[in-house]
Chain A
Amino acid sequence: MKTAAKIFLYISLALVAVWILPWAWRIATLKSYSTPFTLYSCVIHDFTSLDRTDNNELTFIDRNGNVHSDEVQPLFYGRVLNNKGMLPDTLNGRPVTLALIDSMNVTFSARPSDFNKKDIPVCLFMESVPVRMELQDPEDAFVIRKDGIVLYDITQNTLEEEKTKAFSNALASEGFVFPVVKYSGNPSHHKSYDEGYLLIDSAGNLFQMKQVDGEPFARRFTQADGINVKYVCITELSSKAILGWFTDDSDNMYFLHPNGQVVRTEVKYNPSKESLLGVGDLFYYTIKTSDDDGEHFYALDADDFSLVDTMDRPYEFEDEFNLCEYIFPCRLYFTSSKEEWVRPHFTDFSWIGLIVDLIAAGFVIFLRRRHKSHR
Chain B
Amino acid sequence: MVKMILYKEWLKTKGFLFGALGALALLLFYCLLSVIKTAQINGIETLWELVLEHNQVLVETLKYFPLALGALLAVTQYLPEISRKRLKLTLHLPCSQNKTVFVMYGYGLIVLTAFFALISIVIYAVLNHYLAAELVNRVFATVAVWYLAGYAAYLSGCAICIEPTWRMRAVLMLMTAALLLLLFISGTPEAYNRILPGLFIYVLCGQLLIFHSIKRFKEGLQD
Contact = CB atoms under 8 A, between A and B. Distances in A.
A312 to B, nearest CB: 33
Contacts of A19: 178
B144 interface: no
Interface in B83-130: 98, 129-130
Contact of B185 (A118, A123, A335): A335
Interface in B166-223: 171, 174-175, 178, 182, 185-186, 188-195, 205, 208-209, 211-212, 215
Interface of B is mostly: helix
A122 B135 contact: yes
Given A1-B208, A9-B209, A335 B186 contact: yes
Interface stretch (B22-30, B44-52, B61-69): B44-52
B138 interface: yes
Nearest to A344: B195
Interface in B37-56: 43-45, 48-49, 52-53
A155 B44 contact: yes
Interface stretch (A137-145, A198-206, A208-216, A286-294): A137-145
A16 B209 contact: no
A16 B43 CA distance: 46
A343 B130 CA distance: 32
B131 interface: yes
A309 to B, nearest CB: 38
Interface in A108-123: 117-118, 120-123
Interface size class, chain B: 35 or more
A335 B49 CA distance: 26
B132 A152 contact: yes
Interface size class, chain A: 35 or more
Contact of A13 (B48, B132, B175, B192): B175
A313 B69 CA distance: 53
A1 B211 contact: yes
B45 A137 contact: yes
A216 to B, nearest CB: 20
Contacts of B185: 334-335, 342
B99 to A, nearest CB: 13
A344 B190 CA distance: 15
Contacts of B212: 1-2, 5-6, 9
A9 B53 CA distance: 41
A340 B132 CA distance: 23
A139 B171 CA distance: 53
A20 B49 contact: no
Contacts, number: 97
A343 B195 contact: yes
A5 B211 contact: yes
B214 to A, nearest CB: 9
Given A2-B212, A16-B175, A341-B191, A122 B45 contact: no
Contacts of A8: 205, 208-209
B191 A342 contact: yes
Given A2-B215, A9-B212, A139 B45 contact: yes
A122 B191 contact: no
A124 interface: yes
A66 interface: no
B49 A4 contact: no
Nearest to B213: A5
A342 B45 contact: no
Contacts of A340: 186, 188, 191
A296 B210 CA distance: 54
Nearest to B199: A342
A157 B44 contact: yes
Given A12-B175, A141-B48, A154-B45, A334 B182 contact: yes
Contacts of A16: 174-175, 178
Given A1-B211, A120-B52, A154-B48, A343 B194 contact: yes
Name which of A5, A123, A341 has the most chain B CB atoms within 10 A of its CB: A5
A157 B138 CA distance: 16
B52 A342 contact: no
B132 A122 contact: yes
Interface in A1-31: 1-2, 4-6, 8-9, 12-13, 15-16, 19-20
A373 interface: no
Interface of A: 1-2, 4-6, 8-9, 12-13, 15-16, 19-20, 117-118, 120-124, 137-139, 141, 143, 152, 154-157, 187-188, 334-335, 340-344
Given A118-B191, A335-B186, A340-B191, 14 more contacts: A1-B98, A2-B211, A5-B209, A5-B211, A12-B175, A123-B52, A124-B52, A139-B45, A141-B48, A143-B132, A154-B45, A157-B132, A342-B192, A344-B195
Interface of B: 43-45, 48-49, 52-53, 98, 129-132, 134-135, 138, 171, 174-175, 178, 182, 185-186, 188-195, 205, 208-209, 211-212, 215
17 contacts: A1-B98, A8-B208, A12-B175, A118-B189, A120-B135, A122-B48, A124-B48, A124-B49, A138-B45, A154-B44, A157-B131, A187-B53, A334-B182, A335-B186, A340-B186, A341-B193, A342-B192
Nearest 5 interchain pairs by C-beta? A5-B212, A5-B208, A154-B45, A118-B190, A16-B178
